[in-house]
C-alpha cells in the first residue's frame, strides 16, 4: 500500500515537470515538436504505470481493511462469549450489536479509505518539497510553509474532532439500544398501546445522533487547510514570477512549479474525508476495546479441576447478591447427596432460581462456599463443570434453527436416533412429526412459532440428550398439561437414577416425589427435610403447601 502511495505521488509529480519542459519546447523558434512528442509519450507511460500502482495500492488497502474487520469481529465474538452472565445483564444488547456491527465496520473504513488516503496525501505533500528545489532552491519556501501550517492545522482539527467522533459513535449506540429494546419488547409495547411513547423516545435518541453528526459537519466546514492552500499557491506563484523576472528560471519552470503546487490540492480536499474516517474509526475501536477489556468477575479457570461429576452438592453458609451490599441469598447451608432429587420451594422472590444458578457458576457466591463433589465450584474448569450441568428454565430460549439442531445444541455429535430418543422421553416426538418438515422444521427466533408447552418440551429433550450429571428444572413444566407432565416426570424419574436432580417447582406431585425439600423465604433457608418431616415441623412449609394445593385445585 505504501509503495503504491509513493509511486502514485511521484508519478503525479512527473506530469507537471514534463508539461513544463514541453512548454519551453513550444516557445522555441521554431517549436521543438520532437521534444513535445516525447514529453507526451512520457506522460502516457508514467500515468499507465501509476494506474497499475494505484490498483495495487487500493486493493492492498481494501484487503487489509476487510481482514482487520474480520479479525476484530472474531476476537469481539470470542470475548463476548467469555463474559459472565452478570456482564451481559448490565450491557444493553442494542449497544453491543452497534459495537459488533457498525463500530467494527468503522475500523475497516479507518484503514480503507482512511489510512490509505492519509498515506497517499502524505506522499503528495512531500513531492513539491522534493522536486521544486530542482527549479530553484528558493522555491522550496512555499511548499515548506504549507506543510508546516497544514500539519499544525490537522493536529488541532483532529483534537477537536476526536471528542465529537466519540459522541457520534456513543449516540449511535444509544439509538441502536433503544431500537433493539423496543423490538425485543414489541409484544408489551403493542399490548399496552405505547407505540407513540416509544416512537418519541426513539426520536430523542435519533435527534442526539443527528446533533452529534451536525456538530461534526460544522467542524469539518471550518477546516483551515482549504484557506492555506489558496494562500500557498498565491505566495508560490508570486515567488516564481519574481524569479522569472530576475532570469533565474524559465517560463516552463514556472508552469511546472505551479503544477507541483497543485498537488497540494489532493491532501487538502481528501483530508476532510480521510481524517473524518480515521477519527470515527478510532472512536469505534475505542468502544470495541472498552467492551473487550471490561472486567468480568467470572474466572473460567482453564487449568482447574476436570472430572466426571458424581453429583454431591454442598452449600456452606452461602451468601450472594447481584449488587454489592444487597444480598438476595443469606447463610444458605444444606447438602445434596449424589443421585438425590431435591425440590426447592418458596414464595416468588425468595431466591429459588438464584440458588440454582450458583451451581453452574452463572453467578459466583459472594461469601461462603459452594462445593461440588467436595471441591469449590470456582476450582473447577468452567467448561468441564457446565458441560455436565443442565438448567431448564420456564422462559426457554430456542435458536432460529431446525428442531433437530435445537435439541442437539448441547451435543453437536448426536445422531438422529439419539435426538429422537430424547424427544420421545420429553414427550415432544409426536408434535414434532406433525410439522411439515418434522425434525428439519426451522423454528422462529426464541421459538416464537411454538407454544409454551412445545418450547419447554424441546428444552427438556435438549437436556435429556446431554445426559447431565446434575439436572436443574426451574418450573420447566409449567406450560404443559397434567397428563404430559406425568409422562415427562416418569422420564425424569428414569434419568434421575444416574443424576442429581433439583426441582424448583410448585407442583405437588414433584414435591412429594423429591427425596428432600428445601424451603426458601426472603433469601434465607427456612427449613429442609422430607415432605413428611416438613409437614410435621415447619409452619412455613405447611402454608406454602396449602397455597400450592389451592392453586392446583
Q: Kindly report, residue by residue over 298-311, the tens digit of the pLDDT.
A: 677 888 899 999 99
DSSP single-letter state for residue 309? -
The structure's pTM equals 0.69
Examine residue 59 and state whether it is found in any structural domain, yes or no.
no
Say if residue 461 is in the same domain as residue 528: yes
How close are the terminal C-alpha atoms of the chain, in Å? 77
Higher pLDDT among residues 133 and 83, named by residue: 133
**Which of 248, 265, 293 is the C-terminal boundary of a domain?**
293
Torsional sign, CA 450, 451, 452, 457: negative
The answer to whether position 253 is within a domain reads yes
Q: Establish if 351 belongs to a structural domain.
A: yes
CATH number of the domain residue 175 falls in: 1.20.1560.10
Q: What percent of the chain has pLDDT over 70?
A: 95
Report which secondary-structure segment, H or E, holds 529. Answer: strand 524-529
- Which pLDDT does position 297 carry in this prediction? 65
> Are the C-beta atoms of 39 and 21 separated by less than 8 Å?
yes
Percentage helix, strand, coil for the chain under 3-state DSSP, each rounded to 5: 65, 10, 25
Q: Based on the domain organization, do 143 and 221 belong to the same domain?
A: yes
215 and 318, same domain (yes or no) = no
69 pLDDT above the threshold of 80? yes
Least confident of 124-128, 236-240, 473-477, 499-503: 473-477
What residues make up the domain containing 122?
67-293
Residues 16-34: what's their mean pLDDT?
A: 91
Q: How high is the pLDDT of residue 232?
A: 93
Do 214 and 258 share a domain, yes or no?
A: yes
Q: Per-residue pLDDT for 445 more than 70?
A: no
**Distance from C-alpha of 553 to C-alpha of 550, rounded to nearest angstrom:** 5
* Residue 257 within a domain: yes
Check whether residue 279 and residue 376 sit in a common domain.
Answer: no
User: Is there a domain that residue 301 lies in?
Assistant: no
Question: pLDDT value at position 58?
Answer: 93
160 CA to centre of own chain:
27
* Single residue among 293, 324, 350 that ends a domain in this structure: 293
pLDDT at 394 over 80: no
Q: Are residues 386 and 494 in the same domain?
A: yes
What pLDDT is recorded for position 496? 65
- Do 364 and 297 touch, CB atoms closer than 8 A? yes
- 284 and 339 both lie in a single domain: no
Identify whether 336 is part of a domain: yes
How many folded domains does the chain comprise?
2
On whether both 219 and 286 belong to a single domain, the answer is yes
Question: What's the pLDDT at 316?
Answer: 93
Q: pLDDT tens for residues 411-444? A: 888 999 999 999 988 888 988 999 888 999 988 7
pLDDT at 36: 92
pLDDT of 30 over the 90 cut:
no
Same domain, 270 and 317: no
Residue 553 has pLDDT above 60, yes or no: no
Residue 41 has pLDDT above 60, yes or no: yes
Choose the final residue of a domain: 262, 293, 324: 293
- Give me the pLDDT at residue 474, please: 85
| pLDDT tens, residue by residue, 335-388 | 999 989 899 998 888 888 899 889 988 888 989 999 999 999 999 998 889 889
* Position 123 in a domain: yes
Torsion, Cα 405 409 412 417, to 10 degrees, reads -60
Q: Are residues 275 and 387 in the same domain?
A: no
358 lies in the same domain as 233:
no
Specify whether 319 is located in the same domain as 453: yes
Query: Does the pLDDT at position 480 exceed 70?
Result: no
Average model confidence (pLDDT) for the chain?
A: 87
Supply the CATH number for residue 539's domain: 3.40.50.300
Q: 541 falls in which pLDDT band (50, 70, 90)?
A: confident
Q: Establish if 390 belongs to a structural domain.
A: yes
The answer to whether residue 191 scores a pLDDT higher than 90 is no
Between these two residues, 225 and 262, which has the higher pLDDT value?
262
Q: Phi/psi at 402 (nearest 5 deg)? A: -70, 160
Which residues lie below 8 Å from residue 152, measured CB to CB, with a gap of 6+? Answer: none
pLDDT at 497 (0 to 100): 66
pLDDT in the model for residue 457: 85
CA distance 263 to 270: 12
Mean pLDDT within 154-166 = 83
Amino acid at each position: 500500500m505504501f509503495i503504491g502511495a509513493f509511486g502514485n505521488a511521484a508519478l503525479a509529480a512527473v506530469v507537471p515537470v514534463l508539461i513544463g519542459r514541453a512548454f519551453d519546447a513550444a516557445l522555441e523558434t521554431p517549436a521543438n515538436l520532437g521534444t513535445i512528442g516525447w514529453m507526451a509519450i512520457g506522460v502516457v507511460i508514467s500515468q499507465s504505470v501509476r494506474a497499475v500502482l494505484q490498483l495495487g495500492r487500493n486493493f492492498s488497502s481494501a484487503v487489509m481493511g476487510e481482514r482487520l474487520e474480520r479479525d476484530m469481529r472474531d476476537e469481539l465474538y470470542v470475548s463476548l462469549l467469555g463474559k459472565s452472565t452478570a456482564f451481559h445483564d448490565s450491557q444493553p444488547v442494542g449497544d453491543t450489536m452497534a459495537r459488533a456491527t457498525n463500530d467494527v465496520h468503522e475500523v475497516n473504513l479507518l484503514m480503507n479509505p482512511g489510512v490509505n488516503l492519509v498515506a497517499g496525501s502524505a506522499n503528495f505533500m512531500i513531492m513539491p518539497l522534493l522536486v521544486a528545489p530542482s527549479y530553484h532552491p528558493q522555491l522550496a519556501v512555499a511548499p515548506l510553509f504549507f506543510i508546516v501550517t497544514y500539519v499544525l492545522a490537522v493536529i488541532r482539527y483532529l483534537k477537536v474532532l476526536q471528542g465529537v467522533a466519540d459522541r457520534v459513535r456513543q449516540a449511535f449506540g444509544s439509538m441502536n439500544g433503544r431500537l433493539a429494546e423496543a423490538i425485543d419488547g414489541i409484544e408489551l409495547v403493542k399490548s399496552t398501546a405505547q407505540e407513540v411513547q416509544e416512537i418519541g423516545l426513539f426520536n430523542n435518541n435519533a435527534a442526539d445522533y443527528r446533533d452529534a453528526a451536525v456538530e461534526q459537519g460544522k467542524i469539518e466546514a471550518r477546516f483551515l487547510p482549504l484557506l492555506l492552500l489558496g494562500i500557498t499557491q498565491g505566495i508560490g506563484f508570486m515567488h516564481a514570477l519574481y524569479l522569472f523576472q530576475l532570469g533565474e528560471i524559465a517560463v516552463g519552470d514556472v508552469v511546472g512549479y505551479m503544477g507541483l503546487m497543485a498537488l497540494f490540492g489532493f491532501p487538502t480536499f481528501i483530508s476532510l474525508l480521510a481524517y473524518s474516517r480515521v477519527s470515527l474509526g478510532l472512536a469505534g475501536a475505542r468502544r470495541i476495546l472498552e467492551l473487550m477489556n471490561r472486567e468480568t468477575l467470572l474466572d473460567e479457570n482453564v487449568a482447574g479441576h476436570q472430572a466426571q461429576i458424581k453429583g454431591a452438592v454442598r452449600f456452606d453458609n452461602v451468601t450472594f447478591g447481584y449488587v454489592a451490599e444487597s444480598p438476595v441469598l443469606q447463610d444458605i447451608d444444606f447438602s445434596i447427596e449424589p443421585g438425590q432429587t431435591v425440590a426447592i420451594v418458596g414464595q416468588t422472590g425468595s431466591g429459588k432460581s438464584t440458588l440454582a444458578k450458583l451451581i453452574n457458576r452463572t453467578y459466583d457466591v459472594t461469601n461462603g462456599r459452594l462445593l461440588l463433589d467436595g471441591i469449590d465450584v470456582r476450582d473447577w474448569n468452567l467448561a468441564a463443570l457446565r458441560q455436565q450441568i443442565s438448567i431448564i428454565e420456564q422462559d426457554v430460549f430456542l435458536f432460529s434453527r431446525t428442531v433437530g439442531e435445537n435439541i442437539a445444541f448441547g451435543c453437536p455429535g448426536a445422531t438422529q436416533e439419539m435426538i429422537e430418543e430424547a424427544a420421545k422421553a420429553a414427550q415432544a416426538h409426536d408434535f414434532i412429526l406433525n410439522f411439515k418438515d418434522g425434525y428439519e422444521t426451522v423454528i422462529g427466533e426464541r421459538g416464537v412459532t411454538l407454544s409454551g408447552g412445545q418450547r419447554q418440551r424441546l428444552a427438556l429433550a435438549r437436556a435429556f440428550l446431554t445426559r447431565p450429571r446434575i439436572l436443574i428444572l426451574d418450573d420447566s413444566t409449567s406450560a404443559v398439561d397434567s397428563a404430559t407432565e406425568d409422562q415427562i416426570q416418569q422420564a425424569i424419574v428414569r434419568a434421575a437414577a444416574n443424576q442429581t436432580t433439583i426441582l424448583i417447582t410448585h407442583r405437588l406431585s414433584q414435591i412429594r416425589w423429591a427425596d428432600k425439600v428445601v424451603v426458601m423465604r426472603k433469601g434465607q433457608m427456612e427449613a429442609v427435610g422430607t415432605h413428611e418431616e416438613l409437614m410435621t415441623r415447619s409452619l412455613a412449609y405447611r402454608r406454602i403447601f396449602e397455597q400450592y394445593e389451592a392453586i392446583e385445585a
